[in-house]
């Protein structure tokens, strides 16, 4: 006779399954005496084992809560593992993100640290994360993990010890240097005792609590990552991906206004089934290119202009720096004047007006822009024109309004600029007054064998006292304690990207005390 299970039996089976799952999550693993961590071997004494065991037990105490957190771990960890692997950071450090935020993308600490890896705004900018009115990459799992990897590698370059590097993540590199000194530098074995820093012991508790459970209960869904270059809206992207707009909002809290701006590629995430594709879904066909009239930060005049003051560690924030004594800002990404103005919280028309920009002029990453009106004259009387310069670029470099620069020199077209020409930045050139020139020592071009050297530039009578130009020279800078690439770039009037290129250190900010950097200057 055919046997039909009763409702009571079904209920019992369901209860048994859930009880088994809860039991699996509830059983807290035992803290061992020896732990492999990154490239190190850690030896725990009895007191350290007891301290860490208390934290492990606490993490497992509520099976339902642990299960919820474990589901987030299984969802995000494949992405985190891949980013850490690409950045050359030990896989073990992935458990730190659970400790920092519980993998809640918009988590905010009492000290106003935000996102998966809990970055404050200033530190986020140090590791190239975009944080403004439109985008907060601290809430982006790919970007923030890359930022965390950069920060951790920077710490480890100082200690050559991942335990110290991790403590420095919590208390800052300076604080960790004061705390540890150099006693553990380069050590590959360490004793973990009751006196070991609490932050690292808490990390070990998270590693032990979650390591054995990862991947145990596999879902048929994964977190898909696609690279998107804007401008684009979440509505457009949702249609391309065949998901709801609310779904994209839920998994991309780094987008604050349902709009992804142009000028940069971002990592978008959503839930999907099957194998990950990692293919772009929407690329803008109108990628903006750099105009010839952009004042690159490396093109600083010999007199040292533009002069930058204020909080130079936070140049991408409004009201933090002054450019030639005028409130200014550095663009963090390539974008349009409209998007940039919205990001920094001023009107588009005002931003274009104070920077003498048209709607078609792009805003370029790493360049200085003003947020207050420029002056009618500069603080220095003259400028010597170099090849490739424009009237707009010169006006930006000195903080002088473009129409004032043109009027003072009775010069209105870039085509009329000549190398060595001396422009007046304070007084007006009289009608029919000839331009004066200063000889510029040209940088010797690369020549093939047999190619004659170029002849010097012809000159007229020199102006009263503008600074003479010098050929490109190559210097060596030895990194001192506490220095950053940004600070070094500011010191020599070049950009961070140029230093990275000259020294073949890639797109990273990791430098070491005593490291010698090549600096090239005009």
Q: Apex CA 512: angle with CA 511 and CA 516, to 5°? A: 85
Contacts of 97 by beta carbon, 8 Å cutoff, 6+ apart: 76, 80, 103, 116, 117, 145, 148
Place of tokens 């985190």: 80
94 and 228 share a domain? Answer: no
In the chain, how many domains are there?
Answer: 4
Element (H, E) at 36: strand 34-37
105 and 203 share a domain? Answer: yes
pLDDT tens across 148-188, in order? 999 999 999 999 999 999 999 999 999 999 999 999 999 99
Which residues are 270's β-sheet partners? Answer: 224
- Domain containing 382 equals 308-424
Q: How far apart are CA 20 and CA 7, in angstroms?
A: 20
Strand stretches in 430-478, DSSP E? 473-478
Question: Do the Cβ atoms of 66 and 74 come closer than 8 Å?
Answer: no
32 and 57 share a domain? Answer: yes
134 and 225 share a domain? Answer: no
CATH number at residue 507: 3.10.350.10
- pLDDT exceeds cutoff 90 at 141: yes
Q: Is residue 467 part of a domain?
A: no
Min mean pLDDT across 121-130, 287-296, 389-398, 434-443 is at 287-296
Q: Look up the pTM and report it.
A: 0.58
- pLDDT exceeds cutoff 50 at 392: yes
Q: Is residue 458 part of a domain?
A: no
pLDDT tens across 5-25, in order? 554 555 555 554 444 544 444
Q: Domain boundary residue among 193, 211, 229? A: 211
337 and 386 share a domain? Answer: yes
Which has more confidence, 487 or 82?
Answer: 82
Q: 195-221 burial, b if ≥16 CB within 10 A, otherwise e? A: ebbeebbbbbbbbbbbeebeeeeeeee
């Amino acid at each position: 006779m055919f046997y039909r299970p009763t409702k009571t039996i079904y209920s019992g089976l369901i209860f048994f399954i859930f009880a088994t799952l809860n039991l699996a999550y509830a059983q807290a693993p035992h803290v061992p005496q020896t732990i492999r961590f990154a490239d190190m071997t850690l030896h725990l004494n009895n007191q350290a084992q007891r301290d860490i065991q208390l934290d492990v037990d606490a993490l497992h105490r509520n099976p339902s809560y642990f299960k919820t957190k474990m589901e987030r771990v299984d969802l995000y960890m494949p992405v985190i593992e891949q980013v850490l692997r690409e950045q050359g950071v030990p896989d073990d450090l992935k458990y730190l993100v659970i400790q920092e935020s519980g993998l809640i993308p918009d988590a905010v600490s009492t000290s106003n640290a935000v996102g998966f890896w809990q970055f404050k705004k200033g530190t986020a900018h140090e590791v190239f994360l975009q944080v403004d009115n439109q985008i907060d990459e601290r809430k982006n799992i790919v970007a923030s993990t890359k930022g965390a990897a950069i920060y951790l590698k920077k710490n480890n370059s100082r200690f050559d010890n991942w335990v110290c590097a991790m403590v420095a993540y919590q208390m800052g590199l300076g604080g960790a240097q004061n705390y540890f000194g150099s006693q553990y530098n380069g050590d590959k074995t360490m004793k973990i005792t009751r006196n070991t820093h609490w932050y690292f012991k808490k990390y070990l508790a998270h590693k032990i609590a979650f390591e054995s459970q990862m991947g145990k209960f596999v879902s048929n869904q994964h977190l898909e990552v696609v690279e998107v270059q804007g401008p684009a809206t979440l509505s457009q992207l949702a249609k391309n991906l065949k998901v709801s707009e609310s779904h994209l909002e839920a998994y991309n809290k780094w987008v604050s206004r349902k709009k992804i701006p142009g000028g940069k590629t971002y990592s978008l995430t959503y839930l999907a089934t099957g194998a990950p594709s990692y293919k772009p879904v929407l690329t803008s066909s109108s990628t903006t290119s750099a105009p010839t009239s952009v004042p690159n930060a490396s093109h600083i005049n010999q007199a040292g202009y533009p002069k930058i003051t204020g909080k130079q560690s936070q140049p991408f924030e409004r009201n933090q720096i002054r450019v030639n004594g005028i409130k200014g800002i550095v663009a963090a990404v390539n974008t349009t004047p409209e998007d940039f103005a919205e990001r920094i919280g001023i009107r588009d028309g005002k931003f274009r007006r104070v920077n003498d920009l048209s709607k078609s002029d792009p805003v370029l990453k790493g360049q200085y822009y003003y947020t207050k009106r420029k002056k009618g004259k500069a603080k220095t009387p003259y400028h010597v024109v170099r090849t490739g310069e424009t009237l707009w670029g010169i006006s930006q470099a000195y903080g002088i309004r473009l129409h004032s620069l043109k009027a003072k020199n009775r010069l209105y077209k870039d085509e009329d600029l000549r190398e060595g020409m001396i422009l007046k930045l304070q007084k007006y050139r009289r009608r029919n007054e000839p331009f004066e020139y200063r000889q510029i020592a040209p940088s010797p071009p690369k020549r093939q064998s047999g190619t004659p050297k170029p002849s010097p530039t012809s000159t007229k009578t020199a102006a009263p006292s503008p600074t003479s130009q010098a050929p490109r020279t190559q210097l060596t800078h030895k990194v001192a304690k506490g220095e950053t690439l940004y600070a070094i770039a500011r010191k020599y009037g070049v950009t961070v990207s140029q230093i990275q290129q000259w020294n073949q250190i890639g797109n990273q900010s990791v430098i070491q005390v005593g490291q010698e950097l090549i600096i090239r200057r005009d």
